Amino acid sequence: MTPKTTQQDINRIVWKACDTFRGVIDPSQYKDYILTMLFVKYVSDVNKSKYADYLERYEGDVERADRAMLRGRFIVPEESRFDYLYENRNAGNIGELINIALASLEEANREKMSSEDGTNVFRNIDFNSGNLGDTKDKNARLRNLLTDFSDSKLNFEPSHLENSDVIGDAYMYLVSTFASESGKKAGEFFTPAEVSSLLAKLTRSKPNSRICDPTCGSGSLLIKAGQEVGSNNFSLYGQEVNGSTWALAKMNMLLHGFEDATIRWGDTLRNPKLKEGDALMRFDTVVANPPFSLDKWGADGAADDPHNRFWRGVPPKSKGDWAFISHMIETAYEGRGKVGVVVPHGVLFRGAAEGKIRQRTIEENLLEAVIGLPSNLFYGTGIPAVIVLFNKGKKTGNVLFIDASKEFENGKNQNKLREKDIKHVVDTYRRFVDENIPAGVMEEKYAYVASSDEIRENDFNLNIPRYVDTFEEEAEIDVQAVQREIEELETELKAVQAKMNDYLNELELL
């Protein structure tokens, strides 16, 4: 049996491919070239495998197999196939050939690989750019890149592939490796897979749901939210402000078979593009990991927002956390919409404008749960984050607080949520919702259910230690025993000093 392509194989080859660009372009640009080539290799391998299946089904009838391929969900023209590019790796115009391959791939799949205004996925990727060096050096780099991806262990045929989230996991690997070099803030790059899984499970959607991530990044959180439905009866929507990251999200959707996913390119706060007519589109589930405390998010124009998203108040211009939350709440269906968002802890207790917005959402009885996460889960920052859940169909006035900050696996670079940690949080939340747990301690040192009156008495401060008592009593100290131990140590020290003096006298050093 042929060994499967593992994530370790992909990471090894991706790391090797990074060497091609080191010292030539900024590390933040590695992903544009490497993940694009990874996408080409993936669709080429899947296409080749599908063609072989058709040839077998039609007993070698090439004409019938070719017709069947044209009816497939994704068309890969001959000049766009990885094998064609690899065969021509020594061509003097290899950069131009790769650009032609990408353009042909887009043209053959125009509806799936462009935005609503016709912008193509690969518009910012130029393999013939002078930024890659002069012609000789550029050709050598691209030849090395193609050679790296021709590795026999990199086989994306379905029967050879261990994990389906190829782009997402490779993206996470690149981000975790180069986040510090490229200077990105937490959450701006990628939501760790375990946090995405936790958020998707907490906001689990029913069949026939509309699911949205207004800051979707590479789309992995959105995909996980969809997979939690348990059927194919759902629709995915997202918006992403960064052009190259938007392109990765489009590729990620295609790799997972979500060709109908609607992913818009643009600034969600300044220019929301998920609309029906002139009105904002509404969703059953809205999930996001927005950039933490985003500065200059668009506060100047918020008061005149045509969609009236900030009627509870305009957040400070230097911290956009509540701006994203306000947008998410306004785009959730009335009476049933759910919102799950990853934010920094300051969202729970900061005052002034943020405090007023927080108070109003609590008084509307939208807040359902506050879940504290361990520190050092996110790339580029060690600060702890919190998941906040809102529910427009909430049945009780109580709010669940969970302190999950101490349950994790200690990692070398980042900490990691284990399956049992995720299950503990999700099971606790489900019990709170399904069993209508009354106010009071739900689980010692871990979960507490607060009434609306208690939150009001705390001036609408949601800081978790105000509700979950995590105080650990220190063990009593036996003062007499400690004193005896000190006296014994002092006696031993005197004996050692005396012996040392004897040795020094013998050596005539005293």
- Checking if the pLDDT of 160 tops 90, the result is no
Instruction: Write the pLDDT tens digit of every residue in 1-35.
Output: 557 888 888 889 988 888 888 888 887 788 889 88
Tokens 């131990």 identify what position? 485
The residues pairing with 161 across neighbouring beta strands, listed in sequence order, are 5
Instruction: Write the pLDDT tens digit of every residue in 65-79.
Output: 999 998 888 899 999
**Mean pLDDT, range 228-235, rounded to an integer:** 94
d(CA 439, CA 460): 16
Question: HSE of 417 in the Cβ direction (CA atoms, 13 Å)?
Answer: 26
Judge whether 189 and 30 are in contact, CB under 8 Å. no
Q: Which residue, among 317, 314, 315, 312, has the nearest Cα to 303 in the 3D structure?
A: 314
pLDDT value, residue 2: 59
- Checking if the pLDDT of 257 tops 70, the result is yes
d(CA 27, CA 13): 16
Mapping DSSP to helix (H, G, I), strand (E, B) and coil, where does residue 436 land?
Answer: coil
Tokens of 224: 């996980």
**Mean pLDDT, range 357-380, rounded to an integer:** 93
* Range in 111-120, 121-130, 347-356, 418-427 the model is least confident about: 111-120
Tokens of 418: 């284990």
pLDDT value, residue 53: 93
Indicate the residue type of 281: M
Backbone angles phi, psi at 370, to 5 degrees: -130, 120
* Range in 121-130, 250-259, 298-307 the model is least confident about: 250-259
Pairing of strands 209-213, 285-288: parallel
Tokens of 478: 């036996």
Cα 409 off chain centre by: 18
Global pTM value: 0.85
Tokens 């001959």 identify what position? 78
d(CA 283, CA 392): 11
